[in-house]
């Protein structure tokens, strides 16, 4: 029997002028962060980057928890990021965390299990919409990893009233059949991102 492990990801455009001074807004910081995280942001040499790194980690964790508990609302302070940014915890759900920092963006992936995620971040063409670009990126990453024809892969979200927007999480289909890859999409400004996580099948016992 296959064990289902979920993944979530979030990319944030650090060049967005609209978020440049949020680290100086105490109410916002306290709404997003735990008291310990607030102290870390205050003590940081790059407080704005750390704040948005924590936010990306929490958003990535939320995308996993939302798959486990459909309909849950995002309350950032309930997602606790450890000092090394290697795990994020929500109540009794602890997830591993991977954070990648670049000059213009930060990307966080949270997930279950021990498998290594597939992921990518890229700048989209201005003529291509954010959602379309993120889906196209996921298709390319999956096709290249699995050796499949990209034309046979699609990303879909099916109607599911358990979720807040009445749509289930995105999933990858190959020739109409779901792949055993959990999928998460993200976009912010010019950046699009995806993360995919394979499912684990226990070894057969003798």
- What is the predicted pLDDT for the residue at 166? 87
| Tokens (6 digits) for 69 | 């508990």
In a domain, 122, yes or no: yes
Ordered per-residue pLDDT tens for the chain, 206 residues? 567 899 999 999 999 999 999 999 999 999 999 999 999 999 999 999 999 999 999 999 999 999 999 999 999 999 999 999 999 999 999 999 999 999 999 999 999 998 899 999 999 999 999 999 999 999 999 999 999 999 999 999 988 889 888 889 999 999 999 999 999 999 999 999 999 999 765 554 44
Structural domain that includes position 151: 7-198
Q: Considering its fold, how many domains does the chain have in total?
A: 1
- What is the predicted pLDDT for the residue at 7? 98
CATH code of 79's domain: 3.90.470.20
Any idea of the CA torsion for 108, 113, 115, 121, to the nearest 10 degrees? Answer: -20
The answer to whether 119 and 141 have CB atoms below 8 angstroms apart is yes
In a domain, 2, yes or no: no
Q: CA-to-CA distance for 7 and 66, rounded, in angstroms? A: 10
- What is the predicted pLDDT for the residue at 46? 98
Q: CA-to-CA distance for 188 and 163, rounded, in angstroms? A: 22
In a domain, 1, yes or no: no
Q: N- to C-terminal Cα distance for the chain? A: 16
| Best CA proximity match to 192, nearest among 150, 118, 151, 131 | 131
Count Cα neighbours of 121 within 13 Å in the Cβ-side half-sphere: 21
3 state SS of 161: coil
In a domain, 205, yes or no: no
In a domain, 104, yes or no: yes
Q: CA-to-CA distance for 27 and 29, rounded, in angstroms? A: 6
The answer to whether 197 and 124 have CB atoms below 8 angstroms apart is no
The answer to whether 135 and 150 have CB atoms below 8 angstroms apart is no
Query: Which runs of consecutive H residues, i.e. helices, occur in 127-193?
Result: 130-146
- What is the predicted pLDDT for the residue at 150? 96
In a domain, 136, yes or no: yes
Q: CA-to-CA distance for 147 and 89, rounded, in angstroms? A: 35
| Tokens (6 digits) for 62 | 């939320």
131-146 residues labelled b (16+ CB within 10 A) or e (exposed): eebbbbbbbebbbeeb
């Amino acid at each position: 029997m296959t064990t289902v492990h979920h993944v979530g990801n979030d990319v944030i455009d650090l060049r967005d002028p609209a978020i440049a001074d949020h680290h100086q807004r105490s109410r916002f910081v306290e709404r997003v962060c735990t008291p310990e995280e607030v102290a870390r942001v205050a003590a940081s040499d790059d407080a704005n980057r750390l704040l948005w790194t924590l936010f990306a980690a929490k958003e990535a964790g939320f995308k996993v928890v939302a798959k486990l508990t459909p309909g849950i609302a995002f309350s950032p302070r309930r997602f606790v990021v450890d000092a090394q940014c290697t795990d994020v915890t929500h109540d009794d759900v602890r997830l591993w965390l991977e954070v990648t920092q670049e000059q213009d963006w930060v990307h966080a992936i949270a997930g279950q299990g021990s498998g290594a995620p597939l992921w990518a971040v890229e700048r989209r063409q201005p003529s291509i919409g954010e959602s379309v670009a993120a889906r196209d990126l996921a298709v390319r990453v999956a096709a290249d990893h699995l050796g499949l024809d990209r034309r046979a892969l699609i990303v879909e979200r099916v109607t599911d009233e358990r979720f807040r927007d009445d749509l289930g999480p995105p999933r990858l289909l190959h020739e109409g059949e779901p792949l055993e890859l959990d999928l998460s999409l993200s976009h912010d400004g010019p950046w699009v991102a995806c993360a995919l996580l394979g499912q684990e099948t226990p070894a057969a016992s003798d």
